[in-house]
């Protein structure tokens, strides 16, 4: 028995020496004290207590095993992780043994793996975003490895804004974005549109590679600007990115992208449990191209306002006396006021397309403000089986999808022929005749009758389908501010 205690004590002592974490050492000290106390007690206690001591030893063994397994899962010292001597990026082999290339690359690798929680978030987001970038890279016949540049630029978040006012997935400046036909306005910013901005970014990088014939130089040109990079290259008479003396951010940019590429493609080597396919799954989305005419949805009004104006001072005494009598004059101003139809606010559109408002905004981060943009074509991302709603509520739209993402293609859902498309808010004023009667019939009631509340119904949904405001529906049914809908309750949809 004493021999068993001795071996266990030595094992604990060796484990305590190998640990660096103060908390773990503190825990093991308590374990050693507990072991010594149990040894002292084992000599003084009877055979009954000896059996109890053996149980505590087994418990200690289990604790030691759990500590060892936890230690094996902990990240190693940075020097223990592999640093390659060369790597292949977009088909180009880059030898890192020349000059200080290895040092610059290793510095970026250490900075990436230092913040392991952030890398975990990159993995989570990449599962949904990377397939879309790969599809566009295939369309443009360019390198798919450039997707790691988006990780460095925006951490795969659509609405990131830098100090220099660069925005979106690929951090385009406003002038550069307009040069690649990305629309940047008050209600629409296509720098946050994944498909549109990715096409622009990959086209830009493809041109830069054609110009510099080197991916590190092309990526540095994307960051600092191609003309500035060309001037530095001419001035220093150096053609390689690794030999150029640039400002710190530009010098670190290409090694950072290469380090991000290497770490995220060798996650197991850096003790990450998950792969790039184990993140948040991609939601099935269908892309529609929409353009709303101003003539239908914008109202132009001229408002005449009467304002008081003080008369100008005159040098002539007689005129001054007259001006004192009428110190203020009235003048009429004609002011042009543009108002967008309330039918185009996001809440109304979300109800019409049968999509929650929050989801509509989440799917379309490029659409900003309170209303859909007018007289400009833009991408509208919706869940599958929404083409019928689009055709119904956006007159003139064919309902034909421009693109389906990978998840939507796999799902391949189609609107069942037997499924009913409920009558919802009509966005065109010319189609509103008898719409309330149609809506009431499809809700399950008649014009003179009432609607029976079903499980899951909400007051705003019933009001929207019947083309009434919530206040009107409350007034018709004499509902107070604290009234609660009950299943089976009958609501009037029209005044008697």
Tokens 């951490």, located at residue:
155
Tokens coding 337: 């006021």
Q: Are residues 194 and 338 located together in one domain of the fold?
A: no
Q: Is the pLDDT of residue 359 over 70?
A: yes
pTM of the model: 0.68
Domain-located, residue 144: yes
* Domain end residue (candidates: 22, 48, 73): 73
Return d(Cα 113, Cα 76) in angstroms, integer: 11
Q: Are residues 94 and 167 located together in one domain of the fold?
A: yes
Q: Residue 115: is it exposed, middle or buried by C-beta count within 10 angstroms (0-12/13-18/19+)?
A: exposed
Q: How far is CA 47 from the centre of its chain?
A: 66
Tokens coding 460: 């705003």
Closest by CA to 373, choosing from 439, 260, 271, 292, is 292
Return d(Cα 379, Cα 403) in angstroms, integer: 10
Instruction: With H, G, I as helix, E, B as strand and everything else as coil, classify residue 289.
Output: strand
Minimum mean pLDDT range among 24-38, 131-145, 209-223: 24-38
What is the pLDDT confidence band of residue 145, given thresholds at 50, 70 and 90? very high
Q: How far is CA 479 from the centre of its chain?
A: 40
Which helix (H) or strand (E) segment holds residue 62: the answer is helix 47-73
The CATH number of residue 452's host domain is 3.10.350.10
Q: For residue 465, count other CB atoms closer than 10 A to its CB.
A: 21
Closest by CA to 330, choosing from 354, 358, 357, 311, is 311
What is the pLDDT confidence band of residue 318, given thresholds at 50, 70 and 90? low
Domain-located, residue 106: yes
Q: Is the pLDDT of residue 424 over 80?
A: no
Q: For residue 261, count other CB atoms closer than 10 A to its CB.
A: 21
Q: Give pLDDT, residue 423.
A: 39
Strand intervals (E) in 231-386: 286-290, 298-309, 329-340, 378-382
Minimum mean pLDDT range among 95-104, 342-351, 409-418, 452-461: 409-418
Q: Give pLDDT, residue 26.
A: 58
Q: Tell me how far apart the terminal alpha carbons of the chain are, to the nearest angstrom.
A: 94
Domain that holds residue 97: 86-282
Interval 125-147 mean pLDDT: 94
Q: For residue 185, count other CB atoms closer than 10 A to its CB.
A: 11
Q: Are residues 451 and 308 located together in one domain of the fold?
A: no
Q: Is the pLDDT of residue 437 over 50?
A: no
Q: Give pLDDT, residue 382.
A: 93
Return d(Cα 405, Cα 401) in angstroms, integer: 11
Domain-located, residue 428: no
* Domain end residue (candidates: 220, 249, 282): 282
Domain-located, residue 416: no
Q: Give pLDDT, residue 252.
A: 93
Question: Do 175 and 158 contact (CB within 8 A), yes or no?
Answer: no
- 155-199: pLDDT as tens digits: 999 999 998 889 999 999 999 999 999 999 988 999 999 999 999
Return d(Cα 384, Cα 412) in angstroms, integer: 8
Q: Is the pLDDT of residue 389 over 80?
A: yes
* Domain end residue (candidates: 257, 282, 307): 282
| Residue that wins the pLDDT comparison between 242 and 1 | 242
Closest by CA to 126, choosing from 219, 194, 192, is 194
Q: Are residues 143 and 193 located together in one domain of the fold?
A: yes
Q: Are residues 236 and 306 located together in one domain of the fold?
A: no
- 8-54: pLDDT as tens digits: 666 666 655 555 554 555 565 666 666 666 665 555 555 555 666 67
Q: Give pLDDT, residue 422.
A: 39
Q: Give pLDDT, residue 395.
A: 75
Mean confidence (pLDDT) of the chain: 79
Question: Do 170 and 154 contact (CB within 8 A), yes or no?
Answer: yes
The three-point CA angle 180-198-230 to 5° equals 55
403-404/286-290 β-pairing? antiparallel
- 454-483: pLDDT as tens digits: 877 877 778 777 777 777 888 888 887 767
Minimum mean pLDDT range among 107-111, 327-331, 395-399: 327-331
Q: Are residues 388 and 454 located together in one domain of the fold?
A: no
Q: Are residues 268 and 120 located together in one domain of the fold?
A: yes
Q: Is the pLDDT of residue 82 over 90?
A: no
């Amino acid at each position: 028995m004493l021999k068993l205690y001795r071996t266990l004590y030595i094992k604990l002592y060796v484990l305590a020496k190998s640990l660096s974490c103060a908390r773990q050492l503190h825990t093991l000290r308590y374990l050693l004290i507990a072991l010594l106390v149990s040894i002292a007690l084992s000599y003084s206690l009877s055979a009954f207590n000896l059996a109890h001591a053996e149980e505590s030893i087994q418990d200690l063994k289990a604790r030691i095993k759990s500590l060892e397994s936890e230690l094996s899962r902990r990240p190693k010292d940075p020097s223990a992780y592999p640093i390659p001597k060369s790597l292949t990026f977009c088909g180009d082999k880059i030898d890192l043994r020349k000059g200080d290339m290895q040092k610059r690359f290793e510095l970026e690798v250490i900075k990436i793996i230092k913040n392991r929680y952030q890398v975990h978030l990159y993995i989570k987001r990449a599962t949904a975003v990377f397939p879309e970038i790969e599809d566009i890279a295939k369309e443009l016949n360019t390198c798919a490895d450039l997707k790691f540049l988006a990780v460095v630029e925006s951490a795969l978040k659509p609405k990131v804004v830098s100090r220099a006012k660069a925005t979106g997935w690929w951090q385009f400046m406003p002038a550069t974005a307009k040069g690649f036909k990305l629309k940047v306005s008050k209600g629409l910013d296509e720098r946050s549109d994944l498909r549109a901005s990715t096409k622009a970014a990959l086209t830009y990088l493809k041109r830069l590679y054609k110009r510099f014939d080197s991916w590190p130089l092309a990526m540095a040109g994307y960051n600092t600007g191609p003309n500035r990079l060309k001037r530095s290259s001419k001035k220093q008479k150096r053609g390689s990115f690794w030999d150029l003396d640039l400002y710190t951010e530009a010098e670190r940019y290409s090694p950072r992208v290469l380090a991000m590429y290497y770490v995220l493609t060798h996650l197991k080597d850096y003790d990450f449990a998950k792969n790039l396919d184990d993140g948040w799954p991609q939601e099935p989305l269908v892309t529609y191209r929409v353009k709303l005419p101003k003539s239908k949805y914008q109202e132009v009004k001229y408002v005449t306002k009467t304002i008081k104006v003080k008369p100008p001072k005159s040098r002539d005494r007689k005129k001054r006396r007259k001006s004192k009598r009428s110190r203020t004059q009235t003048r009429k101003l004609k002011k042009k006021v543009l108002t967008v139809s309330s039918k185009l606010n996001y809440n109304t559109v979300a109800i019409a397309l049968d999509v929650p408002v929050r989801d509509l905004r989440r799917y379309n981060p490029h659409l900003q403000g309170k209303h859909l943009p007018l007289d400009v074509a833009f991408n509208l991302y919706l869940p599958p089986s929404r083409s019928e709603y689009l055709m119904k509520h956006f007159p003139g739209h064919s309902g034909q999808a421009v693109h389906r993402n990978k998840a939507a293609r796999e799902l391949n859902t189609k609107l069942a022929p037997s499924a009913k498309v409920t009558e919802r808010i009509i966005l065109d004023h010319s189609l509103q005749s008898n719409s309330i009667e149609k809506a009431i019939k499809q809700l399950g009631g008649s014009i003179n009758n009432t609607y029976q509340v079903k499980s899951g119904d909400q007051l705003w949904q019933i009001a929207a389908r019947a083309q009434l405001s919530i206040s009107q529906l409350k007034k018709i049914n004499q509902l107070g501010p604290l009234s609660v809908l009950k299943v089976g309750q009958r609501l009037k949809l029209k005044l008697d």
